[in-house]
Chain A
Amino acid sequence: MNGWPLLTILTLTPLLGALVTWGIGRDNARAGRASAIAFSLLALLQAVLVVFQFNTTVTGLQFVERHQWIPTLHVDYFLAVDGLSILMVLLSALLIPFALALSPAAPDQPRGFHALFLLVQTGLFGTFTALNFFHWFLFWEMGLVPAYFLIKLWGGENRRAAATQFLVYTLAGSVALLLAMVAVNFATDSFDFIQLADLARSGELGRSLETKLHWTGLSSGALSGLLFAGVFFGFAVKVPVMPFHTWLPDTYATAPASVTMVLTGAMSKMGVYGLLRILIPIFPQQMRDSLGLLMLLAVLTIVASAFSAFAQKDLKRLLAYSSMNHLGYCFLGLCAALEPSPNAALWSGERTAALSGVLLQLFNHGITAATLFGLVALIEKRSNGRRSLADFGGLRQVAPVLAGLMGIAIFASVGLPGLNGFIGEFLIFKGAFPLAPISTAIATLGLLMTAVFYLTLIQRVFGGPLNPAWAKFPDLSRGEIALFVPSMTLIFIFGLAPGVILTLVNPAVVEFVKRLAP
């Protein structure tokens, strides 16, 4: 505040870090890595500062930075955070140092690896703070392209195919999103999310679409429907919502573990955040009109991904499907919050619950999923890249600490009370069940299957007699344990005191629900 552009500095810190890392990493790989970690820690410090200065009693935007940029295009440089984005900023800041610390100390061409990693973080910060589509989209893509190179250059088997699939698929979504938003801009002369939401609320958006785009020969309803579909597709690929998810298992399994940690921990949140920030405020009516179908997709995502996870033999693919399952609950919560109800006042509590649950779930899933992938990375490191469920057995006997940490992370993911996954899911179900009882009841199958496949994982990898091939499987070293201390602490803290996070989002969620009312 006070004119100090904290958010801009926060966004630029990793970018600067990337340049520095690239510069000094040429001759000294270790210095490059150290500088990358140092810059990501600096960014974390700033993000924590933002969170501490964040006023939890106000509803609106905070840390606003707004400057006219390209007047002819009506583009402003417009940054701010509010309750919807503050957690995402914090999560992005938390995960990058965690993932960097777990990344292999010496990949080939280390300076490129670490610099690209920091670029991803800039993209993340930018996406979660920008409120004007113009530069928001730049950051959105900025997260994508370095990730593509990270997968393509440092991934596992079939990395080229996986990277290309990831890029092309996500790009297709981005293009649909871009076209739709350009059309919106053409009609309204605005790229400003907040302004667009106001226009949509007053019905101005529909009218201007009709006047400006009448030459297409489409009615205003059809036009908005089409644009809605475009924007939805862009985000649905990112979340991902089934059936737009086929890129995910391959990508998560192929990417280097530390990249997967960021992909699932932070980048998958971009999709849900986009739904919250752009799709629902700008196209609420269109979303309500297609809610039946969306609900079906939500339930499909939850149930089918849970069952698919049970079918997986590869640890990383299993976790990938589980990740999808968890984001499916977020999508369910979002859809349920838009369900019509007889008495708006009486039901806004349920909508608030569902949306609070969604935000909580996003944040906590980020921590838990990154921890799980991080632990799998350590298993992979010890087993020369083998990570099939059938390859192991009895690891708990030789690596009790690894098994214990994995157990905590898994039970957090299963939604055990006392750990961080529970309250988010509980609030989503608390809100969604009264609003959409049948869909939610079917979705509980996902909760059951999550326990089934995770406990099967424990049973097959850690339980049973020790596979003699791993008799010398080393347990975690002190340094490795230290890396997991922060995430384990957060898993417990946010499980026991979810209020810590919820106070940050409460006003924003209440305001969001108020604005949702038709």
Chain B
Amino acid sequence: MTWIIRNLWLIPALPLLAAGLGALLQRPQRRLAATLSIGSMAVAFLIACGGFAMTLGEHTERQVHNFPWFQFGETLLQLGWVLDPLTASMLVMITFVGGLIFIYSVGYMARDENFTRFFCFLSLFAAAMLGLVISNNLLMLFMCWELVGLASYLLIGFWHHKPSAAAAAKKAFITTRVGDIGFLLGIVWLYHETGTLLFYSDGAGCLEQGALAKLVAQTTVGGMFVSTAISLLLFCGAVGKSGQFPLHVWLPDAMEGPTPVSALIHAATMVTAGVFLVARMYPLFNAQFTTGLTQDSVLPPISTALQVVTWTGAITAVFAALIAVAQTDIKRILAYSTVSQLGYMFVGLGVGGPAVGMFHLLTHAFFKALLFLGAGSVIHGCHEEQDIRRMGGLCKRMPVTFTTYAVGMLALSGFPLVFSGFWSKDEILHSAMNWPVSKGPFILALTGAVLTAFYMTRQMWFVFFRPRTELSLGRGDGVHDFVPHESPPIMTLPLVSLAACAVLLSIFATPVWPWFDAYLAGHLSELHLGWSGDAATGIVMVLSIMAVVIGLGSGWALYSRVGDGEAIDPIEQRFPGIFAALRERLRVDEFYEITILRLSRIVTALSDGVDRFGWSACVDLVGFLTVGLAWMSRYFDQIFINSGFDVSCENLRGLGRLAGRLQNGQAQRYLRILAFGVVLLIVALAWMGDSSR
């Protein structure tokens, strides 16, 4: 089975190849483009399953394959890939969910003229994400990470003729790049400290004991461990990519892309990359200087980096859930819900380790893809309508979409026992309750659970249950009215598959059989029929169930009275100020607009102004001085040197004129002068002769 290790690169390479070939196809070659993309994903899925099977054995070793990329100076830079439970589970999830989204896209994008280009970008997106997941080198991970960013940029801006789409694409790329700058610095710092960026390399990797021991033995500014500082820089990247507060602003705007893209971004690729990064780098985040601790300290120390991760996640979870309550765009509600759920994943990583965070990532991937594709089906059925206030009564008209959507909604809300979201969220809550540092994240997470159930109920009511008096939907102007219809099977089949997974996945992480925990830790757990949890598990389960019930109940109670045609939200009636603030997304964008963006505009104007006027003025000054010097030298020449010359010339000329005047052609005057001269000569000679004697 080492064949799979050696050829793990095929998993990202196949979609990449499909993307490359797809880029060369012409517009009419639609069937070929879709076949290439879906086919490559299917083969990748099969190989991924093979890899997954390999990690299932008892005590399977982590396997890596490293190879040299290039040499600079005397340093060899090696890349490589790794197969371990973390990678294998992600690979299977991405290829499976991604493949279903691809299939769905065939139906959704059927009428788009750039169909082939769309599949080319989709394949690139999947390839980049798969490459990111198999990387055994932080630089390679970063490279794929950036390619994920590129693909998302291309896909969010797919309808580039829409100004809002072009702007959203740019915003996504730049906001995530803010985090990436920190990520890059973290990488070069880690590289400097450990001398390698390979994660695992027979004990010499940067996530292995030797390197970690070195990292925690040093401190940097403020007494922070170097490992902590690097972790926090890397976490900047995760915050950007996974849309955590305060860099979450791009994610809701990313709705401008076609709905399958949203599903990809929110479920299989892109946003999960940040969570995956922290899970991958968990040994570094968790590294803690342990020697010298007093023996009587009972609690295990929690590293600063993980505390930051936990709090960021917890705050985001509630913050985004609150905003979701007041949104009216079906996709935007889901977008904020993703931000919130990603917060849960970070809480899970922070308080419970990779298994807890990653399990929620996987379950969430299935039900969020399901919800987005369901939303796409709704939008498709309602002729591109996205405002939930203009929908209603769809549960009869779109039965398959409704049923599957309801499954997704219950899974997201964490409805007890048969839905996967319940179990993954329960684990996070459980770990959060046992967190030694603070109970804050637990309380925040519980609040978030209530809110999640609440806003999903609100959405369900508006979209599916709210009775409609007339048959047609729309704006009632006769032009935009239509009868909603169920989507074609190519779109509903993926929905059904995902719904099945959203339910089935729950069996892998119940307290009865905590299989996933054990799997990620590298050993398999036996099935023990019977209660394996403690008393706290029970308490948390009860609390969690209560949270869901409160959320669902209050949502239903509030909204089931909202009938057709009522525009004002019940919460708005009671708390108009708060509701408006929430609807305007707590004005984070506006805050950035008046602070960071304004500042950057000022700096831009300043640097341009200094360039145009400041530096140029200096240069001009030097120029003027030079020219001035030249003029001075010229005038000096003119006044002193030239004028002296001129004066002598003038005298000479005057002399000439004088001499000229003598020669006036009158013989008498000549003779007179001659006579005068002769007389003068005689007198002179006489005088001189006399004197000489």
| B residues 153-178 touching A (CB-CB < 8 Å) | 153, 157, 160-163, 165-167, 169-170, 173-174, 177-178
Contact residue among B143, B157, B195, B605 (Cβ-Cβ distance under 8 Å from A311): B605
- CB<8 Å pairs between A and B, sample of 16: A246-B616, A246-B619, A308-B604, A349-B75, A397-B160, A416-B146, A417-B146, A430-B188, A430-B192, A434-B189, A447-B181, A449-B600, A465-B163, A466-B161, A499-B70, A502-B72
Q: Does B142 contact A (CB under 8 A)?
A: yes
Q: Which of B4-12, B291-299, B552-560, B607-615 contacts A (4 or more CB under 8 A)?
A: B607-615
Q: Are B608 and A308 in contact (CB under 8 A)?
A: yes
Give the 6 A-B residue pairs with the shortest CB-CB distance, closest first.
A352-B73, A499-B70, A463-B166, A417-B143, A311-B608, A307-B607
Q: Are B70 and A502 in contact (CB under 8 A)?
A: yes
Q: Does B109 contact A (CB under 8 A)?
A: no
Shortest C-beta distance, B666 to chain A (Å), equals 61
Q: Does B575 contact A (CB under 8 A)?
A: no
Q: Are A497 and B170 in contact (CB under 8 A)?
A: no
- State A356–B75 Cα separation when bound (angstroms): 11
Q: Are B150 and A448 in contact (CB under 8 A)?
A: no
Q: Which residues of B contact A357 (CB under 8 A)?
A: 72
- State A452–B601 Cα separation when bound (angstroms): 12
Given contacts A411-B150, A465-B163, contact A307 B72 (CB under 8 A): no
Q: Does A169 contact B (CB under 8 A)?
A: yes
Q: Does A487 contact B (CB under 8 A)?
A: no
Q: Which of A152-160, A226-234, A505-513 contacts B (4 or more CB under 8 A)?
A: A505-513
Q: Is the interface of A mostly helix, strand, loop or mixed?
A: helix
Q: Which of A113-121, A191-199, A421-429 contacts B (4 or more CB under 8 A)?
A: A421-429
Chain A 298-325 near chain B by CB (<8 Å), digits 1 or 0: 0000011101101110000000000000
| B residues 587-623 touching A (CB-CB < 8 Å) | 600, 603-608, 610-611, 615-616, 618-619, 623
Contact residue among A311, A462, A513 (Cβ-Cβ distance under 8 Å from B604): A311
Q: Are A498 and B177 in contact (CB under 8 A)?
A: no
Q: Are B615 and A509 in contact (CB under 8 A)?
A: no
Q: Does A418 contact B (CB under 8 A)?
A: yes
Shortest C-beta distance, B224 to chain A (Å), equals 14
For residue B603, which residue of chain A has the nearest CB? A307
Q: Are A169 and B72 in contact (CB under 8 A)?
A: no
Q: Are B618 and A434 in contact (CB under 8 A)?
A: no
Q: Are A169 and B75 in contact (CB under 8 A)?
A: no
Q: Are B147 and A418 in contact (CB under 8 A)?
A: yes
Given contacts A416-B146, A430-B191, contact A448 B177 (CB under 8 A): yes
Q: Are A349 and B73 in contact (CB under 8 A)?
A: yes
Q: Are B142 and A417 in contact (CB under 8 A)?
A: yes
Q: Are B161 and A397 in contact (CB under 8 A)?
A: yes
Q: Which residues of B contact A269 (CB under 8 A)?
A: none
Q: Are A498 and B70 in contact (CB under 8 A)?
A: yes
Q: Are A418 and B143 in contact (CB under 8 A)?
A: yes
Q: Are B161 and A444 in contact (CB under 8 A)?
A: no
Q: Does A433 contact B (CB under 8 A)?
A: yes
Given contacts A246-B619, A430-B188, A463-B160, contact A448 B143 (CB under 8 A): no
Q: Does B185 contact A (CB under 8 A)?
A: yes
For residue B184, which residue of chain A has the nearest CB? A429
Q: Are B170 and A455 in contact (CB under 8 A)?
A: yes
Q: Are A463 and B163 in contact (CB under 8 A)?
A: yes
Shortest C-beta distance, B674 to chain A (Å), equals 66
Q: Are A462 and B160 in contact (CB under 8 A)?
A: yes
For residue A242, which residue of chain B has the nearest CB? B615
Q: Are B611 and A308 in contact (CB under 8 A)?
A: yes
Q: Which residues of B contact A513 (CB under 8 A)?
A: 73
Q: Which residues of B contact A466 (CB under 8 A)?
A: 161
Chain A 475-518 near chain B by CB (<8 Å), digits 1 or 0: 00000000000000000000001110011001001100100000
Q: Are B73 and A169 in contact (CB under 8 A)?
A: no
- State A211–B653 Cα separation when bound (angstroms): 57
Given contacts A418-B143, A456-B170, A463-B163, contact A246 B615 (CB under 8 A): yes
Q: Which residues of A contact B247 (CB under 8 A)?
A: none
Q: Does B69 contact A (CB under 8 A)?
A: yes
Contact residue among B157, B177, B600, B623 (Cβ-Cβ distance under 8 Å from A451): B177
Q: Does A385 contact B (CB under 8 A)?
A: no
Q: Does B74 contact A (CB under 8 A)?
A: yes
Shortest C-beta distance, A447 to chain B (Å), equals 6
Q: Does B317 contact A (CB under 8 A)?
A: no
Given contacts A307-B608, A433-B188, A448-B174, contact A463 B72 (CB under 8 A): no
Q: Does B691 contact A (CB under 8 A)?
A: no
Q: Does A14 contact B (CB under 8 A)?
A: no
Contact residue among A308, A447, A451, A506 (Cβ-Cβ distance under 8 Å from B72): A506
For residue A411, which residue of chain B has the nearest CB? B150
- State A245–B71 Cα separation when bound (angstroms): 34
Q: Are B188 and A429 in contact (CB under 8 A)?
A: yes
- State A507–B185 Cα separation when bound (angstroms): 27
Q: Is the interface of B mostly helix, strand, loop or mixed?
A: helix
Beyond A455-B153, A455-B174, A464-B160, 5 additional contacts (C-beta under 8 Å) are: A243-B615, A304-B611, A423-B70, A459-B167, A502-B70
Residues of B within 8 A of A (CB): 69-75, 139, 142-144, 146-147, 150, 153, 157, 160-163, 165-167, 169-170, 173-174, 177-178, 181, 184-185, 188-189, 191-192, 195, 600, 603-608, 610-611, 615-616, 618-619, 623
Chain A 453-478 near chain B by CB (<8 Å), digits 1 or 0: 00110110011111000000000000
Q: Are A506 and B173 in contact (CB under 8 A)?
A: no
Q: Which residues of B contact A243 (CB under 8 A)?
A: 615, 618
Q: Are A304 and B160 in contact (CB under 8 A)?
A: no
- State A308–B616 Cα separation when bound (angstroms): 14
Q: Are A396 and B160 in contact (CB under 8 A)?
A: yes
- State A503–B153 Cα separation when bound (angstroms): 34
Shortest C-beta distance, A86 to chain B (Å), equals 16
Q: Which residues of A contact B142 (CB under 8 A)?
A: 417
Shortest C-beta distance, B604 to chain A (Å), equals 5
For residue B610, which residue of chain A has the nearest CB? A304
Q: Are A448 and B181 in contact (CB under 8 A)?
A: yes
- State A243–B185 Cα separation when bound (angstroms): 27
- State A18–B160 Cα separation when bound (angstroms): 47
- State A356–B76 Cα separation when bound (angstroms): 13
Residue of B173, B607, B619 contacting most chain A CB atoms (<10 Å) = B607
Shortest C-beta distance, A163 to chain B (Å), equals 15
Q: Are B611 and A352 in contact (CB under 8 A)?
A: no
Shortest C-beta distance, B408 to chain A (Å), equals 33
Q: Which residues of B contact A312 (CB under 8 A)?
A: 608
For residue A349, which residue of chain B has the nearest CB? B75
Shortest C-beta distance, A236 to chain B (Å), equals 13
Q: Which residues of B contact A245 (CB under 8 A)?
A: 615
Q: Does A261 contact B (CB under 8 A)?
A: no
Q: Which residues of B contact A444 (CB under 8 A)?
A: 181, 184-185
Contact residue among A310, A348, A441, A452 (Cβ-Cβ distance under 8 Å from B185): A441
- State A448–B192 Cα separation when bound (angstroms): 23
Q: Which residues of B contact A447 (CB under 8 A)?
A: 177, 181, 184
Q: Are B174 and A499 in contact (CB under 8 A)?
A: no
Residue of A307, A456, A465, A513 contacting most chain B CB atoms (<10 Å) = A307
Q: Which residues of B contact A396 (CB under 8 A)?
A: 160
Residue of B161, B178, B606 contacting most chain A CB atoms (<10 Å) = B161
Q: Which residues of B contact A397 (CB under 8 A)?
A: 160-161
Chain A 163-183 near chain B by CB (<8 Å), digits 1 or 0: 000001100000000000000
| A residues 383-440 touching B (CB-CB < 8 Å) | 394, 396-397, 411, 416-418, 422-423, 426-427, 429-430, 433-434, 440
Q: Are A416 and B72 in contact (CB under 8 A)?
A: no
Q: Are A352 and B178 in contact (CB under 8 A)?
A: no
Q: Which residues of A contact B605 (CB under 8 A)?
A: 311
Q: Are A463 and B157 in contact (CB under 8 A)?
A: yes
- State A497–B160 Cα separation when bound (angstroms): 32
Shortest C-beta distance, A328 to chain B (Å), equals 13
Q: Which residues of A contact B188 (CB under 8 A)?
A: 426, 429-430, 433-434
Q: Does A350 contact B (CB under 8 A)?
A: yes
Q: Are B72 and A452 in contact (CB under 8 A)?
A: no
Q: Are B185 and A352 in contact (CB under 8 A)?
A: no
- State A516–B585 Cα separation when bound (angstroms): 56
